[in-house]
Chains A and B, each alone.
Chain A
Amino acid sequence: NAGVMQNPRHLVRRRGQEARLRCSPMKGHSHVYWYRQLPEEGLKFMVYLQKENIIDESGMPKERFSAEFPKEGPSILRIQQVVRGDSAAYFCASSRQGSVGYTFGSGTRLTVV
């Protein structure tokens, strides 16, 4: 029973390109959370999704960032027209409905050059 799977582990993009980060939750988990960790900082909440629904995106930057969690397949965090300030570690966590027991993925480290 694999844990939360994130890929890629490392992603390098040039300024202006698009970045797609994937998160497959644990089996049986229907809730996904995305967090961003800037260098030398703590984790910050970005977005909370259930299957086919965005529940709370209050932590998402208003532009260029979007997230989805389709009925089939992983959750995707998409960053359009990346800038150097987007360089960070992006962590995904999942949980069962009604549970506060989170399981974290290993993260995707995005570097924008």
Chain B
Amino acid sequence: KNEVEQSPQNLTAQEGEFITINCSYSVGISALHWLQQHPGGGIVSLFMLSSGKKKHGRLIATINIQEKHSSLHITASHPRDSAVYICAVAADSNYQLIWGAGTKLIIKP
């Protein structure tokens, strides 16, 4: 079992829909990152969380430390949101990031 599990692996939705991507982890962490990667593109850090909730524009990220679970939400989704969204955790005991497999999101106009 991977230490960081993301779901779903693939998600296709219509423009305007509310999107939720989930991340569960099994190790103690000091922080959790949500990142975005467009096809052939670089990696953009969206959020770093250690507790609670953060919001940036149409993006919201939440984390529940007790349940070892985080969600990334996109409101009023748009085709330009189409990308791979990656969850990565910084484990307590190690500076290395442990990466989820990513969620490929396609938003259709």
Binding site for B on A (CB under 8 A): 31, 33, 42-43, 45, 48, 56, 91, 100-107, 109
Contact = CB atoms under 8 A, between A and B. Distances in A.
B23 to A, nearest CB: 13
Interface of B: 30-31, 33, 35, 40-45, 48, 86, 88, 90, 95-97, 99-102
Contacts, number: 45
Nearest to B40: A109
Given A42-B86, A42-B101, A42-B102, A104 B45 contact: yes
A91 B43 contact: yes
- Residues of A contacting B: mostly: strand
B99 A48 contact: no
Nearest to A41: B101
